[in-house]
Amino acid sequence: MQSSWKFVRCTSAVSFFCSPLNFLAVSTALTNINAYSHCASSTKHLNPPLRCIAASLHSPLPSSNALSSAFPGSSATSFLANIQATSFFLAEKSDTLNAHSVLSSGSTEIEAASEDRKQGQNFAEERGASMLSVRINVTGDIADSLAESLMCFGASSCSIEEATVDEFQEKEMFSTGPSTWEGQTCQLWDQDVFRPVEVASGLWIVPRWCVPPDPAAINVMLDPGLAFGTGDHPTTRLCLRWLHQNIKGGEHILDYGTGSGILSITALKIGARKAAGVDIDPMAISSAQANALINNLDSCKLQVFLAASNEDNPPPFERFKFDIVVANILMLPLLQLVERITNYAKPGGRVAVSGIVTDQVDKVVASYSVHLENVHVWEDDGWACVSGTRKV
Amino acid sequence: MSKGVKEKQIGALIRLVVNAGQAKPAPPVGPALGQHRLNLMAFCKDFNARTQNIKPEVPMSVTVIAYKDNTFDFTIKSPSTSYFLKKAAGIQLGASRAAHETAGVVTVKHIYEIAKIKQSDPDCQYMSLEAICKSIMGTARSIGIEVRRTLD
């Protein structure tokens, strides 16, 4: 009996109130039958399983109370009455035994969805043309007759589709142009995905909402928001390890392309005296400042500057000032800014750049060898970090 | 497939068009990938790093395979043929009534250059250069770009 599964999709044009809500599957709908007893009365003549299905069509919402509160001036009952009027199963026909037997055997699943074109309209007043559609998962040998029965009951159209177990449903998303993303409404960082990570022995990067696994180690608390730098990425790890090796204490650090501020803040925690961060993204500036506060570093320890994304208006640093310069950006900006980045380091100061893939290493090394000596390349997982000492 | 490699379960396939070097966690990339719980920042950084050798603002087509364990792989394909043709002809939009009106002109040399770029695309590897050229000429016809031997 078990042949391939098919979807039977029935639609019917309904003029009723728009609802942006999705309907429930049968299992949850069954629990709502009691709440909708006023609908059930009209379907008394149906066989029990069909009535269940009908009730599920009548009960598109978790509770009518939710509906009333969501849509003031609610016409919850009239809403349901409208659906009722178009229910597929309002007929005395009992020769829909095929459907009956299928449904009673419990081998079907039903999803009903309402597609409406106009959202957000005043629920009580407007009527918009909308399609009520139900998706029924049945075995293949029954699909044809079920489809015919549904058409008899008043469905506008019925289509049979092959059901695949993991189907990829194509959804098109169009960009409405560059828009700022309200960080508050979107949770960028899934709390499970971002976990404490030990980048070097005794150095942990811990999300703000987690407890440090090793309280004795150096723990940097971080909430990156929309800026880059959680400690996960190989380039961040490379730079952090490099900093861990090269900071002896009391240095003045420049972090070019600071992102969430992770490199500067870690450097300060390891023992640097002062840090300055530069980024072209205002989100990064606010994120770095916020993270500094979380780690109890005030603004005189970490200063962040917003740089223009073209090369004008360099940040107000003197040349040859910093002991350590670290830049984790991308190859193109690194090549464009090579002079600026290396000039900020004082003679004999250390410079490290990352954010480059191993294929791009040669170009970067060639460009930076003009200004740096003792150039060394570190690699991790396809990404690389180039470090050197500024020529005197 | 060695026995030691565990096959990862594919969660979703996402096709995006992103400007080279300009992937940001903002929409449309953000929600499209974020809803599959992927590490957005890692994707943006990776994508930007790999498209560094391409002029910015060129729309690249990316296919991201998201696995069920929240990791992902992505392949970057060359920009669309219509984009190349429009650049070559120097126009912004194709013809509104293709085959009835001509929006621009390209030469066969342009077609050849575009075909050479397309040849490195994984989907076109099995085609001969001539076949790729023919397919590009078909695209040109569909957006109202005329192909001539020389521009006089």
Cα(A350)–Cα(A22) distance, integer angstroms: 59
B39·A193 Cβ contact <8 A = yes
Q: Answer whether A244's CB lies under 8 Å from A200's CB.
A: yes
A175·B34 Cβ contact <8 A = no
Most A CBs within 10 A among B45, B51, B71, hence the mutation to make, goes to B45
Orientation of helix A262-270 relative to helix A234-246, angle to 10°: 30
Neighbours of B72 (CB within 10 A): 22
B39·A232 Cβ contact <8 A = yes
In sequence order, the 6+-apart residues with CB closer than 8 A to the CB of B96 are: B144
Report yes or no: B135 at the A interface, CB cutoff 8 Å.
no
Q: Where are the domains of chain B?
A: 10-77, 81-148
Tell me the nearest-neighbour CA distance from A182 into chain B, angstroms. Answer: 9
Q: Which residues on chain A place their C-beta less than 8 Å from a C-beta of chain B?
A: 166, 168, 173-176, 178-181, 186, 188, 190, 193, 224, 226, 228-230, 232-233, 235, 330-332, 355-357, 360, 383
Tokens representing B68?
Answer: 């069920």
pLDDT tens per residue across all 392 residues of chain A? 333 445 444 444 332 222 222 332 232 232 222 222 223 333 333 333 333 333 333 333 333 333 333 333 333 333 333 333 333 333 223 333 333 333 333 334 443 333 333 333 333 333 344 566 677 777 777 777 888 888 887 777 777 776 655 555 555 555 544 444 444 334 455 555 677 888 888 888 888 888 888 888 888 888 877 677 777 888 888 999 998 888 888 889 999 888 888 899 999 988 888 898 888 888 888 888 888 888 888 878 888 888 877 666 677 777 678 889 999 988 888 888 888 888 888 888 899 999 888 888 998 899 889 888 889 998 888 899 999 998 88
For domain B10-77, give its CATH number from 3.30.1550.10, 3.40.50.2300, 3.40.50.1100, 2.70.98.60. Answer: 3.30.1550.10
**Same fold? B10-77, B81-148:** no
B81-148: CATH topology is: Arc Repressor Mutant, subunit A (1.10.10)
Q: Which residue in A has a C-alpha nearest to residue B29's C-alpha? A: A175
In this predicted complex, what is the ipTM? 0.72
In sequence order, the 6+-apart residues with CB closer than 8 A to the CB of B1 are: B7
Tell me the nearest-neighbour CA distance from B56 into chain A, angstroms. Answer: 10
Closest partner residue to B26 among A166, A178, A229, by Cβ? Answer: A178
Q: Which residue in A has a C-alpha nearest to residue B55's C-alpha? A: A332
The number of angstroms, rounded, from the C-alpha of A241 to the middle of its chain's C-alpha atoms is 29
